[in-house]
Structures are given as C-alpha cells and as structure tokens.
C-alpha cells in the first residue's frame, strides 16, 4: 500500500471485530515500530504484547479508577468487571514503554522516538488491513496497572495500542489546513 494512502485512511478505531490478530502480523507491526528514527540510537523502547491475564489485570486497574467515587461496593465491582472484560475482549493490545534515561534531554528524545514508533506501527497496521487505537492517560502511572503490565521502576509506559480488524471506520476528523498553520519564511 502507498504510504500516503495509509496516512490518509488511518483512523483511531473504537470497535473491533471479534477476530484474532495473528502473532506474525503483530510481529510485523513491532518491526515497523522499531524502524522509527532514534536520536543517539538509545533504543529505549520496550513492548509488551498483552495476553488475557495481563489485559484483565490492567482492565481491573482501569476499572478501579473509574469506580473510585462509587460508594456502593456492588456497583464498584460491576464497573471493574465490565472494564476488565472490555480490555480482555480487544483482539490485541501492545503496551509501549521507554526506559527512562537520567538525562532529561535524552528522556524527551526517547519519548519522541517511542511515539514515532507508534505511528509507524499504526500505519503498518493499515497496510495489513488492521486498525489501531492509542490509549494513554493517568492510568499509565497507576501502580496496579504497571504491576499488571510488569513494568519495572525506571520505565515509563507511553501508551497502549489496541489492534484488531475494524468493526467500522470513522470519518476523518477535520484538521486545520496547511495554510492556516504554516508560514513560509524568507
């Protein structure tokens, strides 16, 4: 597939078909991610392909955060169970993390390379007929989520990329035009 076509048709996918993603396809996506530019070739990015137990543990941590304000324990349990079941139901999920460098400048570069890798992964997914969605947020620093994903101290979780066959593909979200955001300097 032409790269410009992949860029133009990539979308964040909200719902996936109940269809497995072959491990070979996931490996291709990870290979694509590792081709991202990487200043100083620090190679800080780590992946965890999440199996059902890891997904369940992560979902329980996410659910517990959602349920925090619920006084009724049964209602809280229901939210936790629903959230973890939803995570387990996603066809495939990859946690992307970076090993934290003590130097803040390198840490920033390393975070950038991780997200460039995520974009490579997402575009490669389009080429393979797959869809993706990047999930981030405060849950990435949650100790229970980190434990479920087996992320040690000294590593930052950048995001979780969900992968699967899209159940539907949303329309493109409008972007500002190039003219609106660009100045061509002398």
Q: What share of the chain is helix, strand, coil (3-state, %, to 5)?
A: 50, 15, 35
Q: Which range, of 19-27, 69-77, 135-143, 144-152, touches ligand FMN by CB under 6 A?
A: 135-143
Q: Does 11 bind ligand FMN (CB under 6 A)?
A: yes
Looking at beta carbons only, is 43 or 136 nearer to ligand FMN? 136
Residues 147-176 that bind ligand FMN (CB under 6 A): 173
Backbone phi and psi for residue 61, each to the nearest 5 degrees, phi listed first: -65, -40
Q: Which of 23, 129, 137, 154 binds ligand FMN (CB under 6 A)?
A: 137
Instruction: Report the candidate in 14, 5, 30 with the shortest Cα–Cα distance to residue 168.
Output: 14
User: Which residue spans within 6-139 are E strands per DSSP?
Assistant: 45-49, 92-99, 131-135
Tokens of 133: 């969605």
**What mask, x for binding ligand FMN by CB under 6 A, covers residues 53 to 92?**
----------------------------------------
Looking at beta carbons only, is 11 or 107 nearer to ligand FMN? 11
Q: Which range, of 33-41, 87-95, 130-138, 149-157, touches ligand FMN by CB under 6 A?
A: 130-138
CA dist 96 → 55, 60, 74, 76 (Å): 14, 19, 33, 29
Cα–Cα distance for residue pair 64/83, rounded to 1 Å: 9
Q: Does 8 bind ligand FMN (CB under 6 A)?
A: no
Least distance to ligand FMN, CB of residue 91, Å = 16
* Binding interface with ligand FMN (CB under 6 A): 11-12, 133-137, 173
């Amino acid at each position: 597939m032409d790269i410009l076509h992949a860029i133009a048709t990539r979308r964040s996918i909200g719902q996936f078909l109940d269809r497995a993603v072959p491990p070979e396809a996931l490996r291709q996506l990870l290979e694509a991610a590792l081709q991202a530019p990487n200043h100083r070739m620090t190679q800080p990015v780590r992946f965890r392909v999440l199996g059902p137990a890891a997904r369940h543990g992560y979902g329980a941590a996410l659910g517990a955060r959602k349920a925090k304000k619920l006084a009724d324990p049964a209602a809280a349990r229901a939210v936790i169970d629903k959230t973890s079941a939803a995570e387990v139901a996603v066809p495939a999920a990859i946690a992307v993390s970076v090993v934290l460098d003590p130097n803040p400048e390198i840490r920033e570069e390393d975070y950038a390379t991780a997200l460039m890798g995520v974009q490579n992964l997402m575009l490669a997914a389009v080429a393979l007929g797959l869809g993706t969605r990047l999930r981030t947020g405060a849950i990435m620093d949650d100790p229970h989520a980190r434990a479920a994903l087996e992320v040690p101290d000294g590593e930052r979780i950048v995001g979780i990329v969900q992968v699967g066959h899209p159940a539907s593909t949303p329309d493109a979200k409008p972007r500002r035009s190039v003219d609106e955001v660009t100045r061509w300097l002398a």
